[in-house]
C-alpha cells in the first residue's frame, strides 16, 4: 500500500542537479522544472544579473544555488563543480544547457566563429561531463542530459559551424551512453526546434537586418518549419529533460529526442 507521504513525494527529491547555462531561456526553464520536481539545483552561468533574475522566485526555498563560471574555462568550471558538491552534496544530475549560435555562409565562416561554436557547444559540455561523471560512477547512479538541437539531427544552411557542433554533441551522447550503460548512468540529448528564447530573438533580428523583412514575417517563417505551426516553448523542453531524469526512464539512454512538433522524425 502506498503511504500518503510516498504518494506526495516529488520524483527528484534529494537529488542534486547542476545546470550549466541555467540562467536564461531553456536552461532557466529546466532549472525551475527540476526544482519543482524536488531536486536541489545549482545553476552555473557567466552573467550575475541573469542569475539573480532566475533565482528571485526561489531564494527563500534554499534549494537553488548560483555559481559563476564560463564552461570554456576548465579551472573555473572545476572549482564551481567542487563548490556545488560541497554545498548540496554529490552531483547526480547534469544538464548541459550552455550554448551559443552564430550564422554565416560556409565560405564566410572564419576560424574564430568555427572555434567559438566548438568551444562552447562541444568542449563546454565535455568539461562538465568530465567533472560530474566520476561521482556518478562511484554512486552507481546518474543522469546526463545535453540540450542539443534539431541542427544536430539534420542540416541547415548558413549555420555549418553550429550544425557541426550539435552533431558532435549527439555523437558524444551515443558513444558515452554505451560506455556507461552498465554503470547506472544514462546519457541522452534533447533536440529542440526553434524555441521561444532570447537566442531566437537574436536570430530574428539577424534575419531582419540581412533581409529587410519584418520581425513578424521572420518569426512566422521559423514557426512554419514546425508541422504544428508554432514555436517550441522552453517549458516543453524542460519537461522532456525532467522525464529523462525521473524514475521510469532507466532504459532510455543514448537517445537524441527531438522536441520540435514533428519537424524531425
Residues with catalytic roles = 162
User: Which residues does residue 45 pair with via DSSP β-bridges, in sequence order?
Assistant: 68
Supply angle C-alpha 252, 143, 97, rounded to 5.
105
Q: Residue 214 phi/psi, 5° resolution?
A: -75, 155
Question: 3 Cβ partners below 8 Å, 6+ apart?
Answer: none
- The C-alpha atoms of residue 224 and residue 240 are separated, in whole angstroms, by 22
* Distance, CA of 24 to CA of 197 (rounded, Å): 8
Q: What CA–CA distance (Å, rounded) separates 2 from 203?
A: 49
Of 33, 26, 22, give the one whose Cα is nearest residue 190: 26
Under DSSP, is residue 8 helix (H, G, I), strand (E, B) or coil?
coil
| 54: three-class secondary structure by DSSP | helix
Degrees to nearest 5, angle at CA 56 with 53 and 60: 160
Amino acid at each position: 500500500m502506498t503511504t500518503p507521504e510516498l504518494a506526495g513525494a516529488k520524483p527528484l527529491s534529494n537529488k542534486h542537479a547542476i545546470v550549466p547555462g541555467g540562467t536564461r531561456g531553456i536552461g532557466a526553464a529546466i532549472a525551475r522544472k527540476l526544482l519543482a520536481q524536488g531536486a536541489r539545483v545549482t545553476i552555473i552561468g557567466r552573467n550575475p544579473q541573469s542569475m539573480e533574475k532566475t533565482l528571485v522566485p526561489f531564494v527563500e526555498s534554499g534549494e537553488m544555488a548560483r555559481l559563476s563560471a564560463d564552461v570554456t574555462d576548465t579551472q573555473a568550471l572545476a572549482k564551481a563543480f567542487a563548490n556545488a558538491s560541497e554545498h548540496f552534496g554529490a552531483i547526480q544530475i547534469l544538464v548541459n544547457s550552455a550554448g551559443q549560435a552564430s550564422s554565416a555562409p560556409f565560405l564566410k565562416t572564419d576560424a574564430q566563429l568555427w572555434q567559438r561554436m566548438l568551444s562552447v557547444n562541444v568542449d563546454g559540455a565535455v568539461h562538465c561531463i568530465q567533472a560530474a561523471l566520476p561521482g556518478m560512477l562511484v554512486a552507481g547512479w546518474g543522469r546526463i542530459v545535453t540540450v542539443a538541437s534539431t541542427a544536430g539531427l539534420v542540416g541547415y544552411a548558413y549555420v555549418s559551424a553550429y550544425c557541426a557542433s550539435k552533431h558532435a554533441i549527439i555523437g558524444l551522447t551515443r558513444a558515452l551512453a554505451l560506455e556507461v550503460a552498465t554503470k547506472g548512468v544514462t546519457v541522452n540529448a534533447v533536440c529542440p526546434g526553434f524555441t521561444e528564447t532570447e537566442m531566437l530573438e537574436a536570430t530574428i533580428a539577424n534575419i531582419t537586418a540581412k533581409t529587410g523583412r519584418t520581425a513578424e514575417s521572420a518569426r512566422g517563417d521559423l514557426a512554419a518549419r514546425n508541422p504544428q505551426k508554432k514555436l517550441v516553448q522552453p517549458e516543453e523542453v524542460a519537461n522532456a529533460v525532467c522525464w529523462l531524469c525521473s524514475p521510469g526512464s532507466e532504459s532510455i539512454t543514448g537517445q537524441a529526442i527531438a522536441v520540435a512538433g514533428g519537424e524531425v522524425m
